Amino acid sequence: MSDAVIEERPAEATPKVSAPKPYWNSYAAGALLGLVLLAGFVVTGRGLGASGAMTRIAAHTLQKVDASVRGGTAAEHETYARQNRYTAQYINDASDPLDDFLVWLFVGVLVGGFVSGVASGRAGLELIKGPHTSWKRRVFFAGLGGFISAIGARLARGCTSGQALSGGATLALGSWIFMLAVFAGGYALAYFLRKEWL
């Protein structure tokens, strides 16, 4: 009798081991994010940032590649990265990029994201795209979006983390201008790209 009951159970009722867990409620995730940001202010006196580390890594990459192409002992001091007034601020003899607060923050974000993704069954190679677009278009727009974002972030001296989130919470005037401009720019362009996502 009990065997028959088991056999009648529909296949869908069997729990799927691979099904990812649902995301957290947005307000709960936001509250955790806010507490992490508050901890940053109270413990270190700084907020969070993501693009700053990438700028430092890019500037040091430029320096290393240029120095090795030039070769020789004096080459380290003749590089473009030292002559360029923007990158020069990140390349000085006293500083190691691995001593940088933002670079360690960057490593932490990768670790924290990975741990959460694995624990929730959401980690794995996958290309995310809208239902009516091709993977080629998605790759093109993802790369282009990254390129354009970098220019915007460098002009504004920060991205969604360093300006909108951290600057927003400290009530910095320029950060609120940045945040409103991001939403304005995004909504102005969204209509024209709707077929990529809807």
Partner 1 sequence: MDPSAPFAKVDGWGTPALAAMALLLGAGFGFALEKAGFGNAKTLSGQWYGTNFAVLRVMFTAIVVAMVGLFTLSYLGVVDLSLVSINETWIWPQLIGGLVFGFGFVIGQYCPGTALVAGATGKLDAMVFLGGFFLGSFAFFFAYPWLEGFYGSSAMGRVLLPDALHVPAGVVVFGVVLVALGAFALTHVLDRRFGHGRS
Q: Give, as ranges, the residues between 9 and 48 that touch partner 1 (CB under 8 A).
A: 23-27, 29-48
Contact 181, 164 (CB under 8 A): no
For residues 135-194, which are near partner 1 according to CB under 8 A?
Answer: 138-139, 141-190, 193-194
Residue 109 near partner 1 by CB under 8 A: yes
Q: Which is nearer to partner 1, 1 or 198 (CB)?
A: 198
**3-class SS string, 76-118:** HHCCHHHHCHHHHCCCCCCCCHHHCHHHHHHHHHHHHHHHHHH
CB proximity list for 160: less than 8 A, separation 6 or greater: 50, 182
For residues 60-79, which are near partner 1 according to CB under 8 A?
Answer: 61-62
Half-sphere exposure of 75 (CA within 13 A, CB side): 12
Q: How far apart are CA 128 and CA 135, in angstroms?
A: 9
Residue 116 near partner 1 by CB under 8 A: yes
Q: Tokens in use for 174?
A: 């320029």
Q: Which is nearer to partner 1, 77 or 113 (CB)?
A: 113
Q: Which is nearer to partner 1, 9 or 136 (CB)?
A: 136
Residue 82 near partner 1 by CB under 8 A: no
Q: Which is nearer to partner 1, 10 or 131 (CB)?
A: 131
